[in-house]
Structure 1
Amino acid sequence: MKRKTIAGLALAMLCLVAVFAVFSFWRENWSAKETPGRLEQFFAEMLLRGSRGTVTELPNPVPASEANLLEGRDLYEKQCAFCHGQDGTASGHSGVQFYPPVPSLAPPQNQLTDSQMQSVMERGIRYTAMPSFAKALNEDQRWKVVLWVRQLSRPGSDEKLPLPTEQTP
């Protein structure tokens, strides 16, 4: 008899938790044009934190030569600037429309290490607009993009290697 009582109480508690979760989910405004609620922000932040995962910290194996920086810039322009913007401040043509928002690659917002940044490019971030570039860019190319992103964050970097002007088709 005592076991049935405990099982009944446990089932009742589980039902209450389920009802509360469903109510909280339905109460949330899921319109794309509205400011996200606390529950949605919590899950978005959890996704972004989890995307970093456990990465073995390695120094960038690609030397910061002018040729590597130029190739990194070209790859960034073709693969990343559409969302992250030419200057890395998340001001790209489509990046301003995504949720979770496209993160800025400029400090202080970008706290990722070189290894973490390369890993995010390799794996992507599920349930966001960040795809995996494992098939589009080889490891060497991803490291060159990291070089360019670091170059973007340096004062006066545009004087050394100017950003290409936008081309209209």
Structure 2
Amino acid sequence: MNSNLLSCGKLGIPDALVNAHEELSTELARAAMESGTIGRLAKHLEELCARHFAREEETVFRVFGLLHGVATDRIGPEIEVALPMIADLGAHRDAALSHHQVIDAAIEELLWETRKAKNRTVADIAHTLRRHEKAEDEVMYPTIVAIGQSLRESLGI
């Protein structure tokens, strides 16, 4: 069984994904300490991302704990936890993408202000967050769909 999985059929979260969220959260908190409009917009983005990250860590990231087992065709009892989670993610994909659009709009607003103020430090943070969200949309969510399809095929569901 994958060493990233907890016992008793619970899914583990790969550390790399959680670490990326922690780093982004730290950078957003630093940006939120800026004065004026940039600080206010960064604080708003920080709040949006805190809720978004928490939801992803409870759902999306947990499914990634299955990847090693799926790749090596060794799935254990964690499948009982994962299948409903994957189905739920599929049902709520539009809501997640909508939330990404809200975050992207907040990023764009922050970038606009950083350009006016020539604040390259906060602009870099915003660009990093934008790349993260894009990776989720283009890689993570489709991977979840592929994992679900692979599991259903393997189990004959």
Q: What TM-score bracket applies, with the shorter chain setting the length?
A: under 0.3
TM-score (norm 2): 0.26
Between structures 1 and 2, the one with greater helix share: 2
Q: Could you tell me the TM-score, scaled by structure 1's length?
A: 0.24
